[in-house]
Amino acid sequence: MIEIITRKRFFHVLTCLNLILLVFPLLYAGSLFVFKSDPERAKIPSSSEYKRIICAAPSVTEIVFALGLGDRVIGISHFTVYPPEAKEKTSIGGLINPSKERIAALRPDLVITQGKHESLAELCKKLHIPFLSLKIEKLKDIERAVLKLGNYLGASNEAQNLSLKIKREVSALSSQTGSLPKKRVFLCLSHTPGDLTGLMTTGKGTFLNEIIEMAGGINIFSDLKDRYPRISKESLIMREPDIIIEIYAKGLNLTQQHLLRKDWDRLAVLPA
């Protein structure tokens, strides 16, 4: 589940949240997937032979399940929360520090991860396990990404259907915001409930920034060079957002929700 907290609700804000709910579970940090393999390892078998897949990133898990291939998954990343049935699979640890022992014990015939992961690639090379690294960048490439993964895993028809569905829904939602006035948006990706330190947001060049703009908003930190910068409470106040959106992939209990609302209520000076 994805928990989203907003301080104000507008029609176009709801559109933005719908877009996030649609795309965020599939991507987390982007949308362009480039499939790479280690040229020095053993030959990759055909897609029909992949029966024991480890998905070493939440985004990978969600796409594989969305393609109807969840029964092939035997291992997942620690931070995987969606779909719910994926949590029943064996955890191999976090993205940064996966357990080499668990990976070896699961005897996978394919390991898929997100981004550059040299230690995991080296382990797979050592164990002669086919390895794929998915490079994630822009939202516009999600259609090609899903199609590539579907083709690679022998689910091209399912990939076609999923790609068309996402394309239609994103297009329909984004078209609703064209004539609406722009609002200044702060998208909060991290902070501890009860404390407004450690704030993290999205900069330019991310799919989240694209979603904000597609939904009729203006990302107030789009000028920063870092893709996912840490920002201070003071810099947030200076930029005066109209809307604050906070996302929690694992959801929040009532106590945490109360603390979050108290945090943002302290910033009464903001228009949001």
Say what the pLDDT of residue 42 is.
Answer: 39
Is the overall model pTM greater than 0.85, yes or no? Answer: no
Residue where the block lists tokens 């991290």:
190
CA angle 251–256–259, rounded 5-degree value: 140
Average pLDDT, the chain: 78
Domains 3-28+180-265 and 35-135 share a fold: yes
For residue 106, what is the enclosing H or E element? helix 100-106
Say what the pLDDT of residue 97 is.
Answer: 81
What residue segments make up the domains of the chain, in order of their start? 3-28+180-265, 35-135
User: What is the edge-to-edge ordering of all strands in the sheet holding 35-36?
Assistant: 35-36, 131-134, 110-114, 53-55, 73-76, 90-91
Q: 3-state SS of the chain: helix, strand, coil percent to 5? A: 45, 15, 40
The CATH code of domain 35-135 reads 3.40.50.1980
**Pairing mode, if any, of strands 183-188 and 217-219?**
parallel
DSSP for 120-173, written as a single string: HHHHHHHHT--EEEE----GGGHHHHHHHHHHHTT-HHHHHHHHHHHHHHHHHH
Say what the pLDDT of residue 231 is.
Answer: 93
Please, what is the angle between helix 58-66 and helix 11-27, to 10°?
Answer: 90
Say what the pLDDT of residue 227 is.
Answer: 87
**Residues 59, 116 contacting (CB under 8 angstroms):** no
Distance, in Å, from the CA atom of 89 to the CA atom of 87, rounded to the nearest integer, reads 5
Say what the pLDDT of residue 268 is.
Answer: 65
Say what the pLDDT of residue 219 is.
Answer: 95
**Residues 64, 155 contacting (CB under 8 angstroms):** no
For residue 100, what is the enclosing H or E element? helix 100-106
Stretches where the chain sits below pLDDT 70 are: 1-48, 136, 249-252, 268-272
Class of the CATH domain delimited by 3-28+180-265: alpha beta
Say what the pLDDT of residue 52 is.
Answer: 95
